[in-house]
Amino acid sequence: MLFVNYPKCTTCKKAKKWLEEQGADFEDRNIKENNPGTDEIRLWHKASGLPLKKLFNTSGQLYRSMGLKDKLDKMSDEEKYELLASDGMLVKRPILVAEDAVLFGFKESEWEKALNK
């Protein structure tokens, strides 16, 4: 299982603590140092079943400073994948890549389901 996070993010810290409390075996990956590439994001997006727009960290400074709220609707999926791959701070986190699920953001009930499959 892969846990992709930003160590300074409070939600990521909470999720990591929760995973450790569950005794989960996971690889810890810093999204700032090791940003997912376009192929990885494409795979995760398809596995998550979420609309592509939900993969963006809409509350992040970079998202706001780039004015993406108004630009995303005009972009192709491929452009969105490339944008997400360009900077880990644009990607919603934490991300849990489990055997049967890819989860963006931390919702304990969803993570519990993914862990217990």
Q: 1-36, pLDDT tens digit by residue?
A: 999 999 999 999 999 999 999 999 999 999 999 999
CATH of the domain at 67: 3.40.30.10
How many residues appear in the chain?
A: 117
Site of tokens 């005009």: 74
Please give the mean pLDDT across all residues of the chain: 95
- pLDDT average, residue stretch 101-108: 96
Domain count, the chain: 1
Global confidence as pTM:
0.94
Say what the pLDDT of residue 99 is.
87
Say what the pLDDT of residue 64 is.
96
Amino acid at 54: K
> Residues 48-99: pLDDT tens digits?
999 999 999 999 999 999 999 999 999 999 999 999 999 999 999 999 999 8
